[in-house]
Chains A and B, each alone.
Chain A
Amino acid sequence: GAVVSQHPSRVICKSGTSVKIECRSLDFQATTMFWYRQFPKQSLMLMATSNEGSKATYEQGVEKDKFLINHASLTLSTLTVTSAHPEDSSFYICSASGITGILRDTQYFGPGTRLTVL
């Protein structure tokens, strides 16, 4: 149980295009989802927190107009990188926490999406 998936696992795009990454909780309902990014040899950096049905809360320094987050249902959150540039190339990881019990106590992470912007 407690599986989180991401799609796509890897994407390559041209500079200036937009890329959408999906994060799904497969076997539980996730009231809260988080988006992180990770540059090579660095730790995960939290980008934003999203709650189902409400606007995301962005961490300081993260541009909300560039990284659009939608959490329209209890099992799906999406991150759209708008007008991507090479410096946006990174490993993007989502996590989800559930409603009750250990699902509420723990964040479960997706496998990550490797974005390369040419």
Chain B
Amino acid sequence: DAKTTQPPSMDCAEGRAANLPCNHSTISGNEYVYWYRQIHSQGPQYIIHGLKNNETNEMASLIITEDRKSSTLILPHATLRDTAVYYCIVRVRGDDKIIFGKGTRLHILP
């Protein structure tokens, strides 16, 4: 079973920041938080990952709470191309297998 809980769907207006929450209350000390997204009929795309510090890259920012029991993925300026299912995953980094939950279906509204 997936170790994370996400809302099934969210809407966001184009151009606004999309904030996607994830709960992972049973995360272990050596597990990282990863985010992937899947655009319809494509393979998942890696977005970002982190352990306990906030992370930012060209795609998104990842905010992890101090107790590491939850996190938020932030897409700073959402576009229609960001419409996808977003998966929050916890795993030990490396070649650890990924167990996908149901993710959050993000709709970007024009």
Which A residues lie at the B interface, using CB under 8 A? Answer: 4, 6, 31-32, 34, 36, 43-46, 49, 51, 91, 93, 95, 97, 104-112, 114
- A49 → chain B closest CB, angstroms: 6
What does the 1/0 interface line of B89-105 toward A look like (CB < 8 Å)?
00001110111111100
- A110 → chain B closest CB, angstroms: 5
Count of residues in B whose CB is under 8 Å from the partner chain: 22
Report A-chain residues with C-beta under 8 Å of the C-beta of B38. 44
Main DSSP-derived SS at the A contact region: strand
- A6 → chain B closest CB, angstroms: 8
Q: A104-B93, A106-B46, A106-B93 are in contact. List 14 more A-B contacts (CB 8 A).
A: A31-B95, A43-B102, A43-B103, A44-B38, A44-B44, A46-B98, A46-B99, A95-B98, A104-B94, A105-B93, A107-B46, A109-B36, A110-B43, A111-B43
Whether A106 contacts B95 in the complex (CB less than 8 A), given A44-B44, A91-B41, A93-B44, comes out as: no
The answer to whether A32 touches B42 (Cβ under 8 A) is no
Q: How many A-B residue pairs have CB under 8 A?
A: 57
Name the interface residues of B21-67: CB closer than 8 Å to any CB of A: 32, 34, 36, 38, 41-46, 49
Report B-chain residues with C-beta under 8 Å of the C-beta of A105. 32, 49, 93-94
Which B residues lie at the A interface, using CB under 8 A? Answer: 32, 34, 36, 38, 41-46, 49, 87, 93-95, 97-103
- B19 → chain A closest CB, angstroms: 22
The answer to whether A97 touches B46 (Cβ under 8 A) is no
- A51 → chain B closest CB, angstroms: 8
